[in-house]
Amino acid sequence: MKPVRKAIFPVGGLGTRFLPATKALPKEMLPIVDKPLIEYAVDEARDAGIEEFIFVTGRGKSAIEDHFDNNYELEQTLAERGKQEELDQVNQAKLKPGQVAYIRQMSPLGLGHAVWCARNLINDEPFAVLLADDLIKADKPTLTEMIEVYETRGGNVVSLMEVPAHHTSRYGIVEPGDSAGRIVEIRGMVEKPAPADAPSNLAIVGRYVLQPSVMHHLSAAETGAGNEIQLTDSMMKMVGEVPFNGLRLGGTRYDCGDKAGFLAAGIAFALMRDDMATEIRERVSHLLTDTA
């Protein structure tokens, strides 16, 4: 099996649920404590051994490119003022020359279309897809665990979580087969089914390890739910072609494309910080008391 060296980050969305904040700022640059959402996804990919980072962008997304690039004036100012900790944080976000590529998704035609836009950079290699909106807090990075499953079983691997039955119309839902611990064989899937039509309540969330043959299926440009080109529909065509497994989440997923989920993630990640946890607990406690 070829190693998973490349990752696609679809970041071309309009972020309409966060307007007016996202009128001029990409939603992927919204901060969770003091790091933008997209940096958490990139860090997870780096920890999993990803070497090439492919961002599928759209208009108004230049802030993402700037974030992972040099900022000589800022770096010089921080160095001159002896702010080494802040300088280290800025440098930590950088990607190495030749390690990053940006591809434009000219029209917002769906997740499948965004992935397909990167086809010429994938060539004939397996690759990961990470959705920055899905922020996952786990002891061991989710993508690292998924690649370990891929290395033993091959084929495709997706991240799974149980959702309430009445929420199946928000997700791609899988038809599960045999299970081995947290690993679930996938026998089928459907995008955003009504609860009565859902084959289970196991939803695909934000992390994928895929074989390059998915690009062949995406090339048909068939539209599905929401009249968009759905990645789920093309993955479904691969069931039976290659091994297909899901890995149940080993941590907590925060839907940061949703305002409440975004705020909850900020609190949860602040509580993980030794320099903030005590104060955050006190402030949240006071807010709850004041609004009771």
| Tokens 């093309």 belong to residue | 234
H/E stretch holding 186: strand 183-191
Q: Measured between alpha carbons, how far is 101 from 184 in angstroms, rounded to an integer?
A: 33
Phi and psi based region of residue 49 (left: phi greater than 0; alpha: psi -120 to 50; beta: remaining): left
- Burial tier of 39 (Cβ tally within 10 Å: 0-12, 13-18, 19+): buried
Helix axes 84-92, 72-80, angle to 10 degrees: 160
- C-alpha separations of 175 from 68, 111, 186 in Å: 39, 21, 6
Residues 111, 231 contacting (CB under 8 angstroms): yes
Which of helix, strand or coil describes residue 197?
helix
pLDDT in tens, 114-136: 999 999 999 899 999 999 999 99
| Tokens 């397996």 belong to residue | 126
Query: Which CATH architecture fits 6-257?
Result: Alpha-Beta Complex (3.90)
pLDDT in tens, 23-79: 889 999 999 999 999 999 999 999 999 999 999 998 888 899 999 998 999 999 999
Please report which residue ranges of the chain form alpha helices under DSSP H.
Answer: 37-47, 62-67, 72-80, 84-92, 111-116, 119-122, 142-153, 214-218, 231-236, 259-270, 277-291
The one-digit pLDDT tens for each residue of the chain (292 residues) are 899 999 999 998 888 899 999 888 999 999 999 999 999 999 999 999 999 999 999 888 889 999 999 899 999 999 999 999 999 999 988 888 889 999 999 888 889 999 999 999 998 999 999 999 999 999 999 999 999 999 999 999 999 999 999 999 999 999 999 999 999 999 999 989 999 999 999 999 999 999 999 999 999 888 777 778 889 999 999 998 899 999 999 999 999 999 999 999 999 999 999 999 999 999 999 998 887 6
Helix axes 277-291, 259-270, angle to 10 degrees: 130
Decide the pairing of beta strands 134-137 and 252-255.
Answer: antiparallel
pLDDT of res. 292? 61
Q: Give domain limits for the chain.
A: 6-257, 258-292
pLDDT of res. 211? 96
